[in-house]
Amino acid sequence: MICPLRPDRVRKICGTFAFIEHRFVQDGFWSDVDCHGLLLYLFLVMVADRYGLSYYSYDKICTLLRLTLDDYILARNSLIDKDLIAFDGRLFQVLSLPSEPKRTKVELLSRREQMEREDPATIHQLIEKSFKRHSTV
């Protein structure tokens, strides 16, 4: 039998419904969600009632999680697309995990125009070059 490292601090479930299945990590859901999506998902799990429902508004979520509105929308939509949450405009529901993760299809960037439009590092580089040109003028 394995003994806890800190027997005085064994975690107990005391009236809360916050629970994440091991499958979330083991089956690849964790690795398929970006950091803002994980933050939002974990928050919704923690605040949900026994049906997985949460009434937190977007402005309260953004404030508590320190997310911009754009980051919140991208994270929320990503979780909806991955079938992890449902949302009706005011109410969230954390859903039971689907049988397997819905993988996001990634289009490979191969042309310079694609890199300049979609690659964050290339876009950052272009912006920096633009500022350097303007500061020397």
pLDDT in tens, 103-129: 766 678 888 888 888 787 888 888 888
Do 113 and 58 lie in a common domain?
no
Q: Give the total number of structural domains in the chain.
A: 2
Global pTM value: 0.69
Do 121 and 75 lie in a common domain?
no
Rounded mean pLDDT of the chain? 86
A 10 A CB-CB count for 95 gives: 14
Q: What angle do CA 28, 67, 16 make, to 5 degrees?
A: 60
- Average pLDDT value for residue range 40-47: 95
- pLDDT tier at 137, thresholds 50, 70, 90: low
Residue 25 lies in a domain: yes
Do 64 and 35 lie in a common domain?
yes
- pLDDT tier at 65, thresholds 50, 70, 90: very high
Residue 6 lies in a domain: no
**Residue 129 belongs to what domain range?**
107-137
Do 115 and 83 lie in a common domain?
no
Residue 100 lies in a domain: no
| pLDDT value of residue 70 | 92
| pLDDT value of residue 1 | 72
Q: Which two tokens stand for residue 49?
A: 């009632």
- Contact of 85 with 41, CB cutoff 8 Å: yes
pLDDT at residue 43 greater than cutoff 90: yes
CATH number, domain of 38, equals: 1.10.10.10
Residue 101 lies in a domain: no
What proportion of the chain, given as a percentage, has pLDDT over 90?
41
Torsion angle in degrees (nearest 10) through CA of 56, 62, 67, 71: 70
